[in-house]
Each structure stands twice: as structure tokens, then as C-alpha cells.
Amino acid sequence: MSASSMPARLRDIRAKIKRAEKYVRDLEKRLQSFRKRDPYGLRVEVDPQSGDQVYRVQIRARIPRAVPLLIGEILYHLRGSLDHLAWQLVLANGATPRTGGNGTSFPIFETAAKYKSDSPRKIQGMSPGAISILDALQPYQGGNDILWKLHELNNIDKHRLLLVAAFGSGTPVVRWIKNHPTKKPAEGVTIMAQPGRARGKRFAILQDGTEIGRVHVHDREDSDVDMDFQPSFEIAFGEPQIVEGEPVVPFLHQLAHLVNGIVDKFCLLP
């Protein structure tokens, strides 16, 4: 729906969402610049006891401090736009919104039972049509999980910055440096990823010195081996658990799209 045909009561809400979307684009640009700094690499060490070649993460640059700050701003504007929506829905029905902790707000809860028991006081004064749309949205964990995550993350960010980290991925390739007529390229070589670190081809949070893997040579007479490993990385949430490992930018785009879609549902109300 165009701005000219949008109900006037929703225009300020749209402006708030637009601000969040701008911040997402700004965040994306900052992370692109961060990638160009080549912030993550590998260093090779030799284990003095086993002789293994140990491959560890080398951090050359830290994630900019502005990244979690921008994420907080985005969450604030998206969650706030839904509360603004709730306020306007009450006004549109000719009622008076209520202030305070139990006042008018967009209801999002941990469970369906809590939504059923506690949402009436938050949506008091809304029309039956608006309440019907809210019910269909299932704004609780186990119903609309993405919406619930927005609510939870915004609450967490009120008290502390969200942890943002880099998660690495890649497939190590082992090869003999010298050709051996009696050996296959990887014969006698074992790749050992650090216990608890590997998740298939995806590795956990990249921290300086994290062991990604190692080459163990069984045949000590000739140990000329090499592991070719060029990990890629993605900037994702490091915590809380509900979003751990979730790439930040696609997730925030998804949230903005979700909130826009929710506002769309109420545009057709009289």
C-alpha cells in the first residue's frame, strides 16, 4: 500500500520501520567493510609433544563496537513499532489507550496459555476485527517463533549488548607435499578437529587461538604434509541460545519484513 493511501494513523509506524530498515542497511555496509579487512586467518604451529601440525584461528581485527549497538537500535524500532500499532488500534476503535506496565501494548508471550490469560489487558479497547487478526498471528513461542524472538532480543538488549561473533566454515584438504609411489595423497594422515568445536563443515565461534584442526602423520619417516584450509566466516549471534549461530543481517531483514507484513494486515481495517 502506498504512503498516499495508507491510513494516516499508520504512517508514523511505517516511518519507524523504515528507520529500522535503514539501520539494517547501515549494518550490512559496516560488515562488508569489516570483511574487506581480512579479519580472520590461520596460523600453523607444531605440537612439541606429538609433532602434529596444529591449525589455529588468527584474529587480525575485532568486530566493530558499532555492530551490537546498531542491532539494538533495529530491535528497538521494530518492537516499538508494534507497540505503536497497538496504541493506534485502540484509538481507531474510539477507545482510550491505557498507560503503565499493564497498559496498551502489542501482546507477545512465551506460551499460548500466557497469551490467552494476559493479552486481554494489553489489547483492551481494540475492535473485534483487530483482536481476531492478533489471535491469528499467534504471537507467542510455539506459534510465531520469529515474533517471539524479536520480543525476547529487545528485552535482553535493554539490559546488555547482544553478543555478536564470527562463525567459521570450510573443508580442510590434506595433501602430501612430495609424491610417494606407495602412498595415496592422504594416506597416513588424520584430520582431528577440536572436540566439541566442529559441526559438520561449520565451526563454532572464532576466537583467537581456537584449534580448527590438526594433521597427524603416522609415518614419521616422511612427514612432508600440508593442510589446505581457507575458512569463510559469517557474522552471527553468539547468544542468547534462541538465536545462537543465526547470521545477523538475514535475520534482521526477516524481522523487518515480518513487522511490515503485520502492519499490512491492519491496513484494511475500517
What's residue 9's pLDDT? 77
Strand order in the sheet with 202-205: 198-199, 202-205, 164-169, 232-237
What's residue 90's pLDDT? 94
Cβ neighbourhood burial of 254 (10 Å; 0-12, 13-18, 19+): middle
What's residue 170's pLDDT? 63
191 close to 213: Cβ distance less than 8 angstroms: yes
Amino acid at 75: L
With H, G, I as helix, E, B as strand and everything else as coil, classify residue 266: helix
For residue 240, whether the previous peptide bond is cis, meaning omega lies within 30 degrees of 0, is: yes
What's residue 6's pLDDT? 44
Amino acid at 121: R
From first to last of its 270 residues, what are the pLDDT tens digits of the chain?
Answer: 333 344 677 889 999 999 999 999 999 999 999 999 989 888 888 888 887 778 788 889 999 999 999 999 999 999 999 999 999 999 999 999 999 878 999 999 999 999 999 999 999 999 999 999 999 999 999 999 999 999 999 999 999 989 898 887 765 565 555 555 555 544 444 444 433 333 344 556 678 888 877 777 654 455 566 656 666 788 999 888 999 989 999 999 999 999 999 999 988 776
Query: Three-state SS across 127-139?
Result: CHHHHHHHHHHCC
Lookup: cell for 264: 499490512
